[in-house]
């Protein structure tokens, strides 16, 4: 379970980096919204993996911030 969470966090982080590079080359609003979703996924999965491993409060904060940003980005950005 922990390895799956960590792997998903790494994949979302890599996708976010790739999408940011594409965004800076084309300046497209849809790419920006997908970048926000990738960042939220990275925060959620990396925070969750760290929290389940160490029960750290900062990891829980990362998980909560990821969820709040996900809700905000789903309501604000066009897809």
Contact 70, 40 (CB under 8 A): yes
Q: For the chain, give every domain's residue range.
A: 2-76
- Cβ neighbours for 61, distance < 8 A, ≥ 6 positions apart: 47
pTM of the prediction? 0.75
Contact 42, 16 (CB under 8 A): yes
Contact 5, 48 (CB under 8 A): yes
d(CA 50, CA 56) in angstroms, rounded, equals 7
79 residues of the chain, pLDDT tens digit each: 778 878 888 888 888 888 888 888 877 777 777 888 888 888 888 887 777 778 878 878 887 888 888 888 888 766 5
> What pLDDT does residue 79 have?
59
d(CA 31, CA 55) in angstroms, rounded, equals 34
């Amino acid at each position: 379970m922990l390895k799956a969470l960590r792997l998903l966090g790494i994949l979302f982080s890599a996708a976010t980096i790739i999408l940011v590079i594409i965004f800076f080359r084309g300046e497209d609003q849809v790419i920006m919204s997908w970048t926000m979703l990738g960042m939220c996924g990275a925060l959620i999965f990396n925070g969750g993996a760290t929290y389940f491993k160490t029960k750290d409060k900062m990891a829980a904060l990362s998980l909560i911030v990821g969820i709040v940003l996900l809700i905000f980005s789903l309501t604000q950005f066009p897809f």
